[in-house]
Structure 1
Amino acid sequence: MGKAMMQDKLFSPPATSDRKAALAHVLRQRILTMELAPGAVLDEIALSEEFGLSRPPVRELMRQMAAEGYIELEANRAARVTSMSYQSLRNFFLAAPLVYVATTKIAALNASPDEIQGLKLIQNRFRLAVEQCDIDSRVYYNDQFHLEIGKMAHNPYLMPSLNRLLIDHARLAKTFYQPNNSHMQADLESAVQQHEEIIAAIERHDADAAVEIVRAHLELSRRNMAMYVAPEGLEVPADI
């Protein structure tokens, strides 16, 4: 699949006439890829006009996306994209090991053959995005990879935490994890390989191996993001 075709598949709205669903799809995409920056004001009128909706369904969607963690709503203020800060980064690295380890471990115990095939398809697209240096698609398919593992765990208690975590994972990756030297490119290739190893561990239902690989995978992200924030004085937690 060529880059243009993959982009069409990635960024086209849902195959539905439901304009509210299309708006939800596009807003999530714009937030995850940082087209809408953290803290950006969301113009209800402009969105209503863009998607041919009245304002009540747009406001309803805003409330839904606020509950999911994409948007911040405050009384007497316009809706804004959820903000990010150094505290966000610290909170992410404190919570990520707990959530990713739990979902990956349970997925390794529960995953069906069909679910594993779906995960492999996402991984193929992630690999292609890395090979083509397509940052937005790489961020998106990495998000989808870990989301799919969460779904494979079939645990409703973990999914809200995973969904919230993935919002900032995508945005942090877009902000900090962009290869600009051979070392970082090598790390991206390692991330691709770690995804493959996670799939293999899940496929053979080896929960312990899957957990060890996902821990190493998180350390790879932590190290690359820390390269950017450490000069600013933030100590990124290392005990992941």
Structure 2
Amino acid sequence: MSSNDLRRQLEHEIVLGEIVPGTRLDEVALTERFGVSRTPVREALQQLSMMQLVEIRPRRGAFVKKMSLKELVDMFEVMAELEGTCGKLAADRMIDEERDKLKELHLITEPLVKNKDYDGYYRANVAFHEAIYKGSHNDFLSDQTKSLRNRLTPYRRLQLRQSNRLNNSFQEHAEITEAITSGNKEMAEQLLGTHVTVQRGSFNDFLASLPMDLIDQSA
């Protein structure tokens, strides 16, 4: 396994919340797990550090990066703007096949909501949002939005476990899908910004619900 393969696997696990912020990524354990030498492990950790997913601390090792409360709020604010812009452009630029795909990606989440399949819904949610990023037909915007989304993933996953958030998210997706597929740029932008910051619920309640060990208390 190359360092790039290893980086992609660890990135996937961090992004899906399988490895939570604050977790120490032990080099020896990783070499044993993946059957590789320390060199690709160290290279992979350096790559993750450059992506801001991992923090390398001198003489202590590599840790999945935590965020301060202010950093978290700031990043959600920027995420709302990026997603809103993606939605506005997608409403203007999506072709018919992309609109049909977005409708399909929304509808397949309905049974996941009914079954309270949080993990399945989150994976489908990622596909739904990435279809919007792609539909913006702006590769730079799409890449930047995905990069920030990845950094916020452990926290965004927790949003879905708030009271009735799964149902609300599904309903919001329905409205977003309608706005984009009907070409309503302003509404798509507004709905996506609101959707990301959970303004229909309470963002402050969401922040208060976060486990304290996911937040950098020293910042």
Determine if contact 1:147/1:162 at 8 Å carries over to the other structure.
no
The root-mean-square deviation of aligned C-alpha atoms, in Å, is: 3.0
Cα distance in 1 for partners of 2:199, 2:33 equals 36
Q: Which residue of 2 aligns with 1:201?
A: 179
Cα distance in 2 for partners of 1:222, 1:74 equals 39
Q: What is the Cα deviation at residue 78 of structure 1?
A: 1.8
Q: What is the Cα deviation at residue 226 of structure 1?
A: 1.7
Deviations 1:44-78, CA, capped at 9 Å, x for gaps: 33223323333333333333333333222345542
Q: One-letter code of the match for 1:199?
A: T
Task: Provide structure 2 residue ranges, at least 5 long, that are not aligned to the other structure.
Answer: 211-219
Structure 2 SS opposite 1:53: coil
Cα distance in 2 for partners of 1:104, 1:204 equals 12
Q: Which residue of 1 aligns with 2:93?
A: 110
Cα distance in 1 for partners of 2:152, 2:108 equals 18
Determine if contact 1:72/1:82 at 8 Å carries over to the other structure.
yes
Cα distance in 1 for partners of 2:204, 2:167 equals 19
- Of the three residues 159, 169, 173, the one matched with 1:191 is 169
Q: One-letter code of the match for 2:134?
A: K
Cα distance in 2 for partners of 1:119, 1:161 equals 21
Cα distance in 2 for partners of 1:221, 1:168 equals 20
Cα distance in 2 for partners of 1:163, 1:220 equals 19
Q: Which residue of 1 aligns with 2:45?
A: 62
Cα distance in 1 for partners of 2:208, 2:195 equals 20
Cα distance in 1 for partners of 2:3, 2:100 equals 30
After superposition, residues 154-165 of structure 1 pair within 5 angstroms as 154-165=137-148
Determine if contact 1:19/1:51 at 8 Å carries over to the other structure.
no
Q: What is the Cα deviation at residue 150 of structure 1?
A: 1.4
Does residue 152 of the first structure (1) align with residue 135 of the second (2)?
yes
Q: One-letter code of the match for 1:101?
A: G
Does residue 210 of the first structure (1) align with residue 188 of the second (2)?
yes
Cα distance in 2 for partners of 1:169, 1:219 equals 12
Structure 2 SS opposite 1:157: helix
Q: One-letter code of the match for 2:115?
A: Q
After superposition, residues 30-109 of structure 1 pair within 5 angstroms as 30-109=13-92
Q: Which residue of 2 aligns with 1:178?
A: 161
Q: One-letter code of the match for 1:36?
A: I
Structure 1 SS opposite 2:139: coil
Q: Which residue of 2 aligns with 1:132?
A: 115
Determine if contact 2:4/2:44 at 8 Å carries over to the other structure.
no
TM-score by length of 2: 0.77
Task: Provide structure 1 residue ranges, at least 5 long, that are not aligned to the other structure.
Answer: 1-17, 233-240
Give the number of equivalent residue pairs: 210
Structure 1 SS opposite 2:36: coil
1:231–1:55 CA distance, 2 compared to 1 (3 A): closer
Percent identity for Structure 1 against Structure 2 = 28
Q: What is the Cα deviation at residue 25 of structure 1?
A: 4.7
Q: What is the Cα deviation at residue 177 of structure 1?
A: 4.0
TM-score by length of 1: 0.72
Cα distance in 2 for partners of 1:160, 1:78 equals 29
